[in-house]
Structure 1
Amino acid sequence: MPPTTSIDHTAELSALNAALGAHASAFAVEWIAACESSNTELLGRDLPGDERLHVLVVDRQLAGRGRRGREWQSFDGGSLTFSVQWRLPPAGTAPQGLSLVVGLAVARALEDSGVSGVQLKWPNDVLVHGRKIAGILIELVARQGRTAAAVIGIGINLRLPEGVRIPGQAAVTDLRHELGDGAPDRAGLLAAILSQLRGLLETYAAAGFGALRGAWEQRNAFADLPVRISGDAGSACGACIGVDDDGALLLHTEQGARRILSGDVSLRPMPGGQA
């Protein structure tokens, strides 16, 4: 693996702290050049049990991971890839709907940056006019004597190489395509996402996903459209009628309403639906 200290990120960290302002102390941020996966790196660390959000930003992942074992590609200077460790609420159970909360934070940060047409695809993709711009991977970690935590991986396309094709993705976009010269730099975008994420996680911890459900529904990419859900347990077709207070997808099928839990499933539009 290439050394992770060959690039000086002092300027970007300084710009990040300046953009975070008074909230900078709520985060512990490390920015490195390369590692196998930012999620894998954080999962393997015994981080302090404080209240800060611990953030690892990586210029290039050598073995980035997406859902269902897929590879997440990152590009030097063309991606913003980072992971956040968040301590789960002590009285909480399984973090139902957490990936949707994270997606909402990314969506709001992109909207605040000037991106229009931002949509959310259940359970963990962020789209712009139907094209994927960001993905999320959440993994849980529990160590003896420590509060359970979630490691939240986020990857955002900033400037994809010309003509790049990403396996499993028929349509992608990036921030350069959407905003041109008006796109924020990495530090500015990261600050916007972290600020949104911190606020939404506080709401989620206090009131659950139900408190944020309406905001997610407003950006539902497949609202009322015919979709096919496929996974290890089989497949189902129906109309996407939203999500419930636990973050489960609600599907209207010929057999009636069906509740799809977050997990190893994929959602695809049916012919005639939105691409």
Structure 2
Amino acid sequence: MRDLANPLKVIEILSDGHFHSGEELASIFGITRAGINKYIKVIRQWGIELSSVQGKGYQLAYPLNLLNEQKITHYYLQKSSQPVALDIIPVINSTNQYLLDNLAELSSGNACVAEFQQAGRGRRGRQWFSPFGSNLYLSLYWRLEQGPAAAMGLSLMIGIVVAKVLRELSGQDIKVKWPNDLYLDDKKLAGILVEIAGKAGDIAHVVMGMGINLNMHNPDSGIVNQAWSNLGNIDRNLLVANLLYHLRQALVCFEKQGFAAFLAEWNPLDNFANRPVKLIIGETVIKGVARGINQQGALLLEQNGQITPYIGGEISLRADN
């Protein structure tokens, strides 16, 4: 893999929001202008928008709040005496895949965060649009001794915790959408992907990934094909610290009590509660009114006065407009 240290350093220099000339950058790195142009090309491939003005140089089109290990650790230790246990990898294929590839070395609570994912993924293998520094891409590992069955409702619990953290930091009315999304103003704000390694009756290795839109601009319409929203300007380092702390606390509770301990928190946050919806299961569309969820995390759909629970990884929920 090519060395990415210098393109990353260029981003760090440009993150002050000012213009920096090609000559200045070439001098810093001790290379030619042509070498700097190669770095700029790499940076643009990561989804960073740059202005290039003759006589002035390069400037970021939008400010970047870069991830910083010292800042995250500082914020985290204000809440916990435990180690932050976080790998910051600026450019990665997938934060979930990174943890899955390193299960043997992980302890419960270990996490990974990235600035850019080259192969980020969502549910059912869909690509997750992951431009550099615009959003947050975080994955967390947990070991469930009771096995895969004990993970029932886990993605819903994560949605509740993440929504509460985002509401607290932004002051906005963040909602949850069954089974694994967060919404703001009826538009997708974040997605959650839970992946489990382990067989029935054996220990479950659980990796929980989340992608949260913060300041995304001009996403690829071939990947982002539904209405989306941004959380806006918040300190990403504070966000990482708060998410790690609250998710770890919640996972300890989840291990002992399961999703039942979080059920009451779902309804006030439910984006589609008591609204007409449609479930898409393969080629089948089922319409009804969403009536919350049950203790197993199944969606409750009312049709003609009858309520039916639906659960499974191949169901999509949409508003029925």
TM superposition score category, shorter chain reference:
0.7 to 0.9
Matched, 1:103 2:153: no
Matched, 1:214 2:214: no
Matched, 1:45 2:102: yes
Cα–Cα, structure 1 residues 3 and 98, in superposed 2: closer, same or farther, change >3 Å?
A: farther
Cα–Cα, structure 1 residues 30 and 163, in superposed 2: closer, same or farther, change >3 Å?
A: closer
Match of 1:179 in 2: none
Match of 1:204 in 2: 254
What residue ranges of structure 1 are gaps of 5+ in the alignment?
177-182
Structure 1: distance between partners of 2:80 and 2:266? 25
1:127-175 per-residue CA deviation (whole Å, 9 max, x = no partner) reads 11212111100100138xx832110011011111147646354321112
Aligned residues: 264
Partner SS, residue 175 of structure 1: coil
Q: CA deviation at 1:5?
A: 5.8
Structure 1: distance between partners of 2:185 and 2:157? 20
Q: CA deviation at 1:117?
A: 1.4
Bigger share in helix: 2
Range that drifts further, 64-73 or 228-237: 228-237
1:80-117 per-residue CA deviation (whole Å, 9 max, x = no partner) reads 10111111143672411100111111101111103321
Structure 1 residue ranges, 4+ long, deviating more than 4 angstroms after superposition: 1-11
Q: CA deviation at 1:254?
A: 3.1
What residue ranges of structure 2 are gaps of 5+ in the alignment?
13-65
RMSD over aligned Cα atoms: 2.7
Matched, 1:243 2:299: no
Query: TM-score, structure 2 length as denominator?
Result: 0.75
Larger radius of gyration: 2
Structure 2: distance between partners of 1:168 and 1:256? 35
Partner SS, residue 252 of structure 1: strand
Structure 1: distance between partners of 2:196 and 2:129? 22
CA contact under 8 A between 1:34 and 1:58: conserved in structure 2? yes
Match of 1:29 in 2: 86
Report % sequence identity. 31
Matched, 1:195 2:252: no
In structure 1, give the amino acid aligned to 2:213: N
CA contact under 8 A between 1:3 and 1:34: conserved in structure 2? no
Task: Return the match for 1:75 from 120, 127, 131.
Answer: 131
Q: Which one has more relative contact order, counting CA pairs under 8 Å at least 6 apart?
A: 1
In structure 1, give the amino acid aligned to 2:161: A
Cα–Cα, structure 1 residues 103 and 254, in superposed 2: closer, same or farther, change >3 Å?
A: same
Range that drifts further, 4-13 or 122-131: 4-13
Match of 1:269 in 2: 319
CA contact under 8 A between 1:3 and 1:33: conserved in structure 2? no
CA contact under 8 A between 1:247 and 1:262: conserved in structure 2? no
CA contact under 8 A between 1:36 and 1:64: conserved in structure 2? yes
In structure 1, give the amino acid aligned to 2:319: P
Write the mapping of 1:1-275 to structure 2, written as runs, cut at 5 A. Answer: 3=3, 7=8, 12-21=68-77, 23=80, 25-48=82-105, 50=107, 52-90=108-146, 93-142=149-198, 147-162=203-218, 165=221, 167=223, 169-176=225-232, 183-232=233-282, 234-254=284-304, 256-271=306-321
Structure 2: distance between partners of 1:226 and 1:148? 36
Cα–Cα, structure 1 residues 91 and 99, in superposed 2: closer, same or farther, change >3 Å?
A: closer
CA contact under 8 A between 1:5 and 1:33: conserved in structure 2? no
